[in-house]
């Protein structure tokens, strides 16, 4: 049975577009065996969003290029990040809110992650970077 929070989210996010991700590069770190540096371009259309998630043990830095990024982590109140601003996600960080703050403008950010190479070279590939919370499979 779905929780009330998930039922409310289904109403809030109904019809809103999900994120669009483009991998920019992936390099194995020679000075940190077993780790890779992966950069991606994260795009949200107006009203775009991502469900609650973690990054499979990765550490990430997000840098906003365009628009406004509404980001909430580890149950803390969400903050709006504007172009030129950045935030850090430590390993194990729970990204509870990840939305475009605007319903009329797009948002673009660059996200750089350090992740275990074996996680992205496995069966799931780059999809292993983001682990959606249980119960949010509908999103």
CATH of the domain at 109: 2.60.120.10
Cβ atoms within 10 Å, residue 98? 22
Residue 10 domain-assigned (yes or no): no
Could you give the CA distance from residue 68 to residue 57 in angstroms, rounded to a whole number? 26
Residue 32 included in any domain: yes
Report residue 49 as tokens. Answer: 């969003």
The answer to whether residue 138 is domain-embedded is no
Find the domain containing 48 and state its range.
16-132
In a domain, 24, yes or no: yes
In whole angstroms, give the CA distance from residue 43 to residue 60.
16
- Does some domain include residue 81? yes
Domain count for the chain: 1
In a domain, 2, yes or no: no
Cβ–Cβ < 8 Å for 57, 139 = no
Residue 82 maps to a domain: yes
What does each of the 139 residues of the chain score in pLDDT, given as a tens digit?
A: 445 577 888 888 888 999 999 999 999 999 999 999 999 999 999 999 999 999 999 999 999 999 999 999 999 999 999 999 999 999 999 999 999 999 999 999 999 999 999 999 999 999 999 999 998 888 8
User: Is 90 a member of any domain?
Assistant: yes
């Amino acid at each position: 049975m779905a929780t009330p929070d998930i039922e409310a989210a289904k109403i809030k996010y109904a019809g809103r577009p999900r994120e669009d991700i483009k991998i920019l590069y992936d390099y194995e770190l020679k000075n940190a065996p077993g780790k890779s540096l992966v950069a991606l371009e994260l795009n949200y259309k107006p009203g775009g969003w991502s469900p609650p998630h973690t990054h499979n043990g990765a550490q990430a830095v997000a840098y906003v290029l365009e628009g406004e990024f509404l980001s909430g982590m580890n149950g803390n109140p969400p903050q709006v990040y504007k172009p030129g601003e950045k935030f850090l996600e430590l390993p194990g960080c729970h990204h509870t809110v990840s939305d475009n703050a605007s319903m009329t403008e797009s948002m673009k950010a660059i996200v750089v992650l350090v992740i275990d190479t074996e996680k992205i070279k496995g069966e799931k590939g780059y999809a292993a970077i983001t682990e959606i919370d249980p119960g949010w499979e509908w999103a």
